[in-house]
Structure 1
Amino acid sequence: MKKKILLIQPENAEINRFRRKQFNNFVQITMPYLAAFIDEALYEITLVDEYNEKIPFDRFFDLVAITVNTPNAYHCYKISRIFRERGARVALGGPHVTLMPDEARAYCDHILVGEGEETWPRFLRDFYNGRAGGVYAPVSPPALKDLPPPRWELLRRRFSVMKSAVFSTRGCPYHCRYCNLKQIYGDGFRTRPDDEVLREIGGLKAKHFVFWDDNFFADKRHALALMSGLKKLKKRWAAQVTLADCDDDGLLEAARDAGCLYLFVGLESFSDASLNDAGKGVNRVGDYGRIIGMIHRHRILVQAGVVFGFDSDGPDVFEKTLRACETLGIDGATVSILTPLPKTPVYAQLKAEGRLLTGDWSMYNGKTHVAFQPKNMTARQLYEGYTDFRRRFYSLPSFLKRYRVSKTRLPYSFLMNLGYRLAIRGSAYEEAPAGKSTVPEPRCQQRTQKAER
């Protein structure tokens, strides 16, 4: 007899309101990918993405699996409580569970720590046979080969420029102080076989997709081999890269010929002092103009990652950053407030200095709250400067200034800017609560402990 399994891609109400205003969000790959490992002879699958679907609390499921990132942690714990009270078993995994396993264990029956290519199928077999343990963790990093393609057909579609996602590598060779990739994936960098990635891309129904890699150009030989094969598929795509790796005309030419529309580049800051705070020594502000110009000459858009709140940032950082973006012709920007994610060096520093403003994980989303005390401005100044920057950057006058420099792919550039512009409905600054938010009591903790081996 088949067991009923519910896969949830969670999104709390606050972030949902923020993201739904911008129509160019990426699809999320995690749950469609995990669904591909499920044996449908044993399980009946339901997949829900809270971005545009309601969780079916009124239906019975034998197993509920939720991927948890830090700002959604308490939201996921509440979902878990509801389903456990109704007789379901709940498994939690994802970045926050990997970083904070002892916390997560109190709110579910099973946790999956780290990467899931080996542990997730093993857990599913154990669960079906009634012998599932409490904690599953990989013995070593999984080999990224012979992987199934994500089950995109299980996901209700939402409007997005990039309608599918593929990953070809995992990890990043750099050590930025605010990033938790090293704590999640370890210090290695791995690639998938080129032919498997190309076969997966060839099977996508969508013409546009995004590489879900953390650093697509980190292994140039791998990237060049993939892009050589991509030319035949006539797809359009985007990827995340490091600016220093773009200082290569041959690589950019290959990307252009393979259908690259834009590159997400983690600039983070236009200040060398702030880059030093970030631990991002690979970036050199003096190189920005030259390399961005190279990218534009290959008709590739630049979507810059910008972060405000480093210790060297003062109240003037917002105006300086806007002027720099306009001067360089930055096509688009994903703007964030520095967020001290757990287990990162930035988190450890701010905690040691007594500068964390709250223990409420829902405030650690980098978009709608400030979770720490900045060094050279108030938390209110940081939040209001960030929101004002977004409003001004995505204004029509700024777009025109930047496009006159870039002169790259006007339809795509306009659509990208419009998507973010529609999302700007500035909310007022709110003080972060000193304590944690209300988290569901771990009523079923005894049950969790009994399930562990």
Structure 2
Amino acid sequence: MKINLIAPVHRKQNFKRYFQIAPLNLMMIASITPSDINVEILDENIDTIDYNSPVDLVGIGANTSEVNRAYEICDEFRKRGIAVVIGGIHASALPDEAGEHADSVVIGEAEGLWEKVIDDFRKGTLAKFYKHEAFPDISRLPLPDRAVLKNKRYLTRNVFQLSRGCPFRCVFCSVTEFFGNTFRVRNEDQVIEEIERMDGKFLIFVDDNIFGDPGYATKLLEKMIPLKKKWVSQCTLHLADNSRLLNLATKSGCMGMLIGVESISRNSLRASGKPINFNRYKEMIQRILDSGIGIDGSFIFGFDNEDTSIFERTLEFIVKMRLPAATFSILTPYPGTKLKEKLEEEERIIDRNWEHYNGIHAVFRPARMTPDQLEEGRTWIKQEFYSYMNIFKRVGFFGDHLIYQWLYNLLKKGGTSKVKQKTASNPHILEY
């Protein structure tokens, strides 16, 4: 029996195809697939799908912005009589929609369900929907099957996940709907064993908040120090208030963090539901930077109190703070979020093309600017922030992890224009 596990293409700029990280979700599913089954991972960001190649079952997962492409793939396989199972955040939020394109829908996390899917498929009793009664225990997950990605060209296969869930309830975030608002962690000794097996020195933790359980993070980082690795992840500004954890992060090799700063507007921050003390923003950011850890600050535009001045004010703030990097997104009402419920009630959603739910399109009517102004403002601030002059002002030629900071900025700079054209090599790859 053969199963194809498929990751649909990201709609990103063409050159970033050479900077892909391995799909951890598919490696995890491969690891819980019975050993007598031949598993092949097809990542459309680097692979071409052969719909006529012999296969018995297809599994596919997608976020909202990728789901249109995922549905196209599902439909092509089903035309050939091949059963398809779909999962992921979008399918979990809208299972009936996903079920129109797949034989079966996995709602929520795959562990504990995928094994049942395989068993039912073999018996010829595949159900339409599979769903957990409770969030699964992840303390002793099997290690991801990285061998299934042999000979594939990725920036790194060293992708790890320590935890799932988030205690916060930000109105725009679908994480708590998918993973819950309780924090679940893996056994730290198992994580250390997994890290010791990896090739190379650099790794990525894909956790939404790696320090969500400070006690757990403390024990893990202490065990990581002797391994002499370099790593990046995501966290909140609360890291600044835990000097011991901040010190351990530095000693264990942390190079940088993606941090949800969200907005420089007090009212926007309040509207987002993010529990951060606005008055201490500058102090908290500076404390993390002073520790030698770089920050990629994530900013969201489009909250109801914001007009077009928010873009210039944000640029002034982040250049003055010398943030090493920043990510700029448009507020997006993803399925399953409180934001989507609110905008639906107010009849402000103007675009229901899921491909546009990617943080660079305005899919709703903002309160104090037009959708075009919101999109143009987001494009403008990215172009300005990643101009060579501003990169030099922020990064300079001295400091910690200098080569990494410059390479990271140049990589992010590569996508500062709007959608240009489809590429000849793959019509589903767009350039931004």
Same fold (TM over 0.5): yes
Q: What is the percent sequence identity of the aligned residues?
A: 33
Tell whether 2:139 aligns with 1:141.
no
Partners of 1:333 and 1:157 in 2: CA distance = 29
Q: Specify the alignment match of 1:284 in structure 2.
A: 277
Q: Specify the alignment match of 1:294 in structure 2.
A: 287
Per-residue CA deviations over 1:60-119 (Å, capped at 9, x if unaligned) read: 211010002111222211111110111210000110111001111121111111111100
SS of 1:45 mapped into structure 2: strand
Aligned-pair distance for 1:18?
2.8
Aligned-pair distance for 1:404?
5.2
Partners of 1:55 and 1:108 in 2: CA distance = 17
Partners of 2:248 and 2:359 in 1: CA distance = 34
Partners of 1:164 and 1:147 in 2: CA distance = 17
Tell whether 2:275 aligns with 1:247.
no
Partners of 1:384 and 1:230 in 2: CA distance = 43
Among 29, 33, 58, the alignment partner of 1:34 is: 29
Partners of 1:289 and 1:406 in 2: CA distance = 22
SS of 1:302 mapped into structure 2: strand
Contact 1:20 1:423 in 2 (8 A): no
Partners of 1:406 and 1:291 in 2: CA distance = 22
Partners of 2:107 and 2:406 in 1: CA distance = 41
Contact 1:163 1:208 in 2 (8 A): no
Q: Specify the alignment match of 1:338 in structure 2.
A: 331
Among 65, 71, 93, the alignment partner of 1:71 is: 65
Partners of 1:108 and 1:187 in 2: CA distance = 29
Aligned-pair distance for 1:40?
2.8
Among 182, 203, 225, the alignment partner of 2:219 is: 225
Q: Specify the alignment match of 1:6 in structure 2.
A: 4
Cα distance change, pair 222–35 in 1 and its aligned pair in 2 (3 A): same
Contact 1:18 1:423 in 2 (8 A): yes
Show structure 2 runs of 5+ residues with no match: 421-432
Aligned-pair distance for 1:19?
6.3
Contact 1:163 1:206 in 2 (8 A): no
Number of positions where the alignment pairs a residue of Structure 1 with one of Structure 2 = 419
Aligned-pair distance for 1:24?
4.6
Aligned-pair distance for 1:203?
1.2
Instruction: Map residues 110-189 of structure 1 onto 2, 5 A cutoff.
Output: 110-155=104-149, 157-160=152-155, 163-189=157-183
Instruction: Map residues 19-30 of structure 1 onto 2, 5 A cutoff.
Output: 20-21=15-16, 24-30=19-25
Q: Specify the alignment match of 1:313 in structure 2.
A: 306
Among 249, 254, 260, the alignment partner of 1:266 is: 260
Contact 1:218 1:245 in 2 (8 A): no
Aligned-pair distance for 1:125?
2.1
Contact 2:365 2:371 in 1 (8 A): yes
Q: Specify the alignment match of 1:399 in structure 2.
A: 391
Letter in 2 for 1:144: I
* TM-score, with structure 1 as normaliser: 0.89
Partners of 1:321 and 1:25 in 2: CA distance = 29
Partners of 1:338 and 1:158 in 2: CA distance = 33
Q: Specify the alignment match of 2:430 in structure 1.
A: none
State which drifts further: 223-232 or 283-292. Answer: 283-292
Contact 1:22 1:420 in 2 (8 A): no
Letter in 1 for 2:322: G
Aligned-pair distance for 1:25?
4.8
Q: Specify the alignment match of 2:426 in structure 1.
A: none
Contact 2:166 2:180 in 1 (8 A): no
SS of 2:414 mapped into structure 1: helix
Aligned-pair distance for 1:126?
2.1
Contact 2:58 2:82 in 1 (8 A): yes
Q: Specify the alignment match of 2:423 in structure 1.
A: none
* TM-score, with structure 2 as normaliser: 0.93
Show structure 1 runs of 5+ residues with no match: 429-453
Letter in 2 for 1:200: E
Cα distance change, pair 274–25 in 1 and its aligned pair in 2 (3 A): farther
Q: Specify the alignment match of 1:431 in structure 2.
A: none
More contact order relative to length (CA 8 Å, sep ≥ 6): 1
Aligned-pair distance for 1:22?
7.5
Contact 1:22 1:423 in 2 (8 A): no
SS of 1:423 mapped into structure 2: coil
Contact 2:17 2:45 in 1 (8 A): no
Among 207, 231, 234, the alignment partner of 2:201 is: 207
Contact 2:4 2:55 in 1 (8 A): yes
Contact 1:64 1:89 in 2 (8 A): yes
Tell whether 2:89 aligns with 1:106.
no
Aligned-pair distance for 1:154?
2.3
Partners of 2:152 and 2:329 in 1: CA distance = 26
Per-residue CA deviations over 1:210-254 (Å, capped at 9, x if unaligned) read: 111111111100001110111121111111101023322211110
Letter in 1 for 2:8: P
SS of 1:261 mapped into structure 2: strand
Partners of 1:24 and 1:105 in 2: CA distance = 32
Cα distance change, pair 212–19 in 1 and its aligned pair in 2 (3 A): farther
Partners of 2:301 and 2:86 in 1: CA distance = 31
Instruction: Map residues 360-371 of structure 1 onto 2, 5 A cutoff.
Output: 360-367=353-360, 369-371=361-363
Aligned-pair distance for 1:422?
1.9
Instruction: Please tell me the root mean square deviation across aligned C-alpha atoms, in Å.
Output: 1.8
Cα distance change, pair 24–304 in 1 and its aligned pair in 2 (3 A): farther
